[in-house]
Structure 1
Amino acid sequence: MHADDVSLHSLIGSKTATDPAFVFEGQPISRAEFSRKVEQTTAWLAAQGIGNGDVVAIWLVNRVEWIALLFAAARLGAVVAAVNTRYRSAEVAHLLKLSGAKLLVMEAAFRAIDFAAILADIARDVVPALQKLAVVGADAIPAQWPCIQFDAFDQPYPSAPTQDDVDLPVLLYTTSGTTKGPKLVAHSQRTLATHANSVAKALQLSPPHHSLLAMLPFCGTFGMTSLLGFIAAGAAVHALDAFEAAPALTILSERKITHTFGSDEMFRRILALTDAPRPFPHLEVCGFAAFQPGWRELANEADARGMPLHGLYGSSEVQALFAIARASDAFADRIEGGGWPMSPDAKVRIRDTETGELAADGISGEIEIRAPSCFLGYFNNPEATRDAITADGFFRTGDIGRLRDDAFVYETRAGDAMRLGGFLVGPGEIEDELKLCAGVADAQVVAVDLEGQARCVAFVIPAGAPPQQETLVARLRERLAGYKIPARIYAVDTFPVTDSANGVKIQRVRLRAMAMERIAAE
């Protein structure tokens, strides 16, 4: 395949594409207009000194500027680091430092989020590579760094020479880390565009007949992959700047949307807003990730009301929508996580975690994947990359599943990572922040089911007098996203441990049981 066919720019050149390409907040944007915006943004980035290998961090809600910046960075050989809009100071600082971002393009504020205030809590010497801020939709903000307004669409800038290299990193996603914070997953134009075309083909998308409601954040692979798949197909994308059930319901109904993707909780909230027996007659596929208890009951209700939920599978490393259930699958199979790989070139196998041998159909083990959608590696972390890839080139997912005919079933996440607020979170990230708090000598964090939601509970060993839970929570709220804040913080003298040949191990299963016992006692 020619390099031009696997560039991001190639995705917007479909001859059968429909217009508008995008609708943001009711404003249509044609493909020609989007192409112009990419050209303008490419010139703007070059004027800011961004070139080959430079990293641009994007801390924006779902805007056309987000996509234009990604496509423009690709034209210059630059790299985009996607920043979750729910991140707070510690998380933003970690990502900026790890990526070596030279420029941060950001919101000033959105709804209740004061981005400028969050940034003010980051010391300049913590992120030495950062040189400049650019604010979208507002004047420059007072900051420790030089700050300008993002005006690429309003001011003419000299055109810049482009140098697409489809096999170099172009987009960095964050993924769960086991210690101080997330790792950065690097994808190239080739991995992104090849997978986008696979998604368009596998879903048999037709520009005149299909459309997407993009209600997931572009900063994550779930939102970005679905977006790129529909761009590749030439089908229209209706985007929410951030998810809210009411506008999602309106767009699904009025715009005759055929496809959308989200968490089980998103679909639950949309259905709760309407009493209509079958409110979405045009919906064909609702790909969903099951994060909350009761998702099977939700799938039954949704199916009865004409909202066909399809289980799927993905990760930052292999991209979202790596696999999806087919409409022809039996209902019980259709709602399971996993499914059929989108790419005919993808390979999935299961390794028995006890014997280390490859497992037969129906036997559970660790899912291993080799596919065109696989990542280049963890950015600036060759050791973690080596640990994640087998000798014959399969990615060790850390997920448990089993093969079923030519499809596979995702069962659970191996290890200790927690699914909180729809995001995979390493407990060490929260533990390290707790250990920085006054009065805390050590900390451990586990996830529990609390009133139907996955929440985390912390256990701390005090350094002196036990610290107040309210004080600890207040400090964590300054440093971490809301979904990472423990629902309970309990003081203990010691953690339950097991001595083994490999050292002392924390009994997280026992900690989870202790958490549920204490919550029940309340």
Structure 2
Amino acid sequence: MNANAFSLQSLIRSDPATDPAFVFDGTPVSRAEFAAKIEQTAAWLAAQGIGKGDVVAVWLINRIEWLALLFAAARRGAIVAAVNTRYRSAEVAHLLQLSGAKLMVVEAAFRSIDFAAILADLAKDEVPALQKLAVVGAEAIPAQWPCVGFDAFDRSYPPTRPAQDDIDQPVLLYTTSGTTKGPKLVAHSQRTLASHAASVAKALRLDPQRHSLLAMLPFCGTFGMTSLLGFVAAGAAIHVLDAFEAAAALKILDQHRITHSFGSDEMFRRILALTDAPRPFPHLELCGYAAFQPGWRELAVEAEARGLPLFGLYGSSEVQALFAIARASDAFSDRIEGGGWPMSPDASVRVRDTETGELAAPGVSGEIEISAPSRFLGYFNNPDATRDAITADGFFRTGDLGRLRGDGSFVYETRAGDAMRLGGFLVGPGEIEDELKSHGGVADAQVVAVDLKGQARCVAFVIPTAEPPNQETLVSHLRERLAGYKVPARIYLVDAFPVTDSANGVKIQRARLRAMAMERIAAE
């Protein structure tokens, strides 16, 4: 197969019967118009001195300029570093340092985000590679760096010949969700992005005449970008939210007969909460969701009853989102779990026993390892971290725990760092959390492990209902239903859990919960 078949450009099909390609805030953009915008943006990048191997940081909401910059960078042989719009100064500085970006394309303003104020907190010597800002929506913003307006769509720049396609070089950098040392940058090539997009379109059997996507996840994360590229590859229409709002999502789902959407459990929960209609989405066929919050099983049951079909899935920045998804033929209890069937027929999933180091049999939990065409090139400018993440035979060590089902699918259970070794056994926190939530006085629960007098014990944080649970009754309830080593040593009532925003959704800060547990125990 010709290498160009794996370029980003190969995903764009000009077919009047399937236009528009995108609808942004009610404005349609055809495939021909999008292709023209890519050419205009490539010429604009050349005029800014961006060429092969240069990095452009893109700090934008979901807009057509974001996509044009990615595809144009591929034409120039350049690299896009995706910046989360929720980032603040330290996070932006870290990304610019790691990527070595020469140019940053930034919003003039969006809702309550003051991009200029965030940039004002950056010291120029922190990010020595950054030379210029390009502003979308204004000629300039107050900044320490020279500014130009992003006028690629409004002004003609001298056309430039595309760089010779090197589809196996980095073209897009995602940030990982981060550690105490700051996030790493996950590098993907045109081949990994385009081939996975084609796999998604084929596995979901997308029909450009019948199917459409509500894109409500940010483009700066793999969840938003991968789902979008899959529908681009299929030639299906894509309705884009600049940023998620439940009311706007509900309106598009209703008015445009949307068939597919992807998001977090909390997004779908908010959409459902806005309508009293018993089955408000008769055209929806598939909603792929990531369960970041407690109560996702209850949500899935309610959503199913109201005609919003949730499908569990699996992915990461390293192997891309939508790496695997459940099938409609799966039993409901299996369909709503994380994991599923790999999108690519060339993907391989195995599980390694964390105790013995041997490959685990179906049904036995261990670390998930993946080999697939969607696998990342490596961590950008970090060969040591890349080497640690890849096995000698080319499998990515995900750091996630799960088990094989034995039929070609797998189940994601939890992050390895979240699993608890209690009483000599590996325990997923969800098992204990579910039992806590089965008690009438518990609205929500999170469980973490701590070292208590030299022993690993679990501690529970509980959000109570209007009638808080009696602690003794709650402990008795757990002792009746769980092995003794799984019963929390402490149960603390809280109003809310600490959370953090990522490009792919709001996630509970389990590390912060562990610190809170130790602080409270120390104060006793």
Alignment TM-score, normalising by the size of structure 1 = 0.82
Tell whether the 8 Å contact from 2:293 to 2:508 is kept in structure 1 after alignment.
Answer: no
Task: Give, in angstroms, the shift of residue 344 of structure 1.
Answer: 0.2
2:416 is matched with which residue?
A: 414
The residue type equivalent to 1:68 in the other structure is: A
Counterpart position of 2:518: 514
Aligned to 2:367: 366
Instruction: State the 1:451 CA deviation.
Output: 3.6
For residue 470 of structure 1, what is the aligned residue in structure 2?
none
**1:515, distance to aligned residue in structure 2 (A):** 5.6
1:138 positional shift: 1.7
In structure 2, the residue matched to 1:113 is: 113
Q: Which residue identity is paired with 2:287?
A: C
Q: 1:488 to 1:354 in 2, by over 3 A?
A: closer
**1:327-361 CA distances to partner (integer Å, 9 max, x unpaired)?**
11000000000000000000000000000000000
Using a 3 Å threshold, how does the CA distance of structure 1 residues 206 and 484 change in structure 2: closer, same or farther?
closer
Report the count of equivalent residues. 445
Uncovered stretches (5+) of structure 1, i.e. residues with no partner: 418-445, 453-476, 490-507
Deviation at 1:180, TM superposition (A): 2.2
Q: Counterpart of 2:346 in structure 1: which amino acid?
A: D
Match of 1:88 in 2: 88
**Distance in structure 1 (CA, Å) of the matches to 2:321 and 2:265:** 15
Partner secondary structure for residue 411 of structure 1: strand
Q: Secondary structure at the match of 1:190?
A: helix
Report deviation, 1:377: 0.2
Counterpart of 2:383, as a letter, is P
Shift of 1:176: 3.4
Q: Among the aligned pairs, what percent are the same residue?
A: 78
- Unaligned stretches of 5+ in structure 2? 420-457, 465-499
Residues 224-256 of structure 1: CA deviation (Å, up to 9, x unaligned): 000000000000000000000000000001100
- Distance across 2 between alignment mates of 1:448 and 1:260: 34
- With over 3 angstroms needed to count, the CA separation of the structure-2 counterparts of 1:391 and 1:218, relative to structure 1, is same
Q: In the alignment, which residue of structure 1 is the partner of 2:214?
A: 213
The Cα shift of 1:179 comes to 3.5
- Residue 18 of structure 1: aligned partner: 18
User: Are the equivalent residues in 2 in contact too, given 1:17–1:234 (CA < 8 A)?
Assistant: no
Shift in Å at residue 15 of structure 1? 5.1
C-alpha distance after superposition, 1:399-425 (max 9, x if no partner) = 0000012100000001269xxxxxxxx
| Residue equivalent to 1:31 | 31
Report deviation, 1:117: 0.6
CA contact (8 A) 2:312 2:340 kept: yes
Q: Distance in 2 between matches of 1:160 and 1:451?
A: 59
Query: What letter matches 1:401 in structure 2?
Result: G
- Indicate how the Cα distance of structure 1 residues 450 and 52 shifts in structure 2: closer, same or farther if over 3 A, else same: farther
CA distance in 2, matches of 1:406, 1:451: 38
Quote the offset at 1:517 in angstroms.
6.2
State the one-letter code of the partner of 1:12. I
Deviations 1:442-496 (A, max 9, x none): xxxx9985649xxxxxxxxxxxxxxxxxxxxxxxx9xxxx97998999xxxxxxx
Distance 1:366 1:516 in 2: 32
Alpha-carbon separation, structure 1, partners of 2:266 and 2:294? 10
**1:399·1:411 contact (CA, 8 Å) conserved in 2?**
yes
Contact 1:14 1:232 in 2 (8 A): no
Q: What SS does the aligned partner of 1:200 have? A: helix
Computed over aligned residues only, the root mean square deviation of the Cα atoms, in angstroms, reads 2.4
The runs of at least 4 consecutive aligned structure 1 residues that moved more than 2 Å come to 13-17, 176-180, 446-452, 482-489, 511-519
- Is 1:381 the counterpart of 2:382? The answer is yes
Give the partner amino acid of 1:271. L
Tell me the SS of whatever aligns to 2:81.
Answer: strand
Residue number in structure 2 paired with 1:304: 305
Aligned to 2:293, the other structure's residue is in SS state: coil
Is residue 214–residue 261 contact of structure 2 (8 Å, CA) maintained in 1? yes
Aligned to 1:155: 155
Match of 1:192 in 2: 193
Per the alignment, residue 49 of structure 1 pairs with 49
In the alignment, the residues of structure 1 paired with residue 291 and residue 298 of structure 2 have an alpha-carbon distance, to the nearest angstrom, of 11
TM-score normalised by length of structure 2:
0.82
Q: Secondary structure at the match of 1:323?
A: strand
2:110 alignment partner, SS class: coil
Pairwise CA distance, 1:109: 1.2
> Counterpart amino acid of 2:174?
Y
Give the equivalent residue in structure 2 for 1:74. 74
Query: Which SS does the other structure have where 2:11 is aligned?
Result: helix
- Does structure 2 conserve the Cα–Cα contact (< 8 Å) formed by 1:170 and 1:187? yes
* Post-superposition offset of 1:16: 8.3
The residue type equivalent to 2:93 in the other structure is A
For residues 119 and 10 of structure 1, do their structure 2 counterparts lie closer, same or farther at Cα, with a shift above 3 Å needed?
same
Find the residue that maps to 1:269 and give its secondary structure: helix
User: Which residue identity does 1:413 align to in structure 2?
Assistant: R
Structure 1 counterpart of 2:470: none
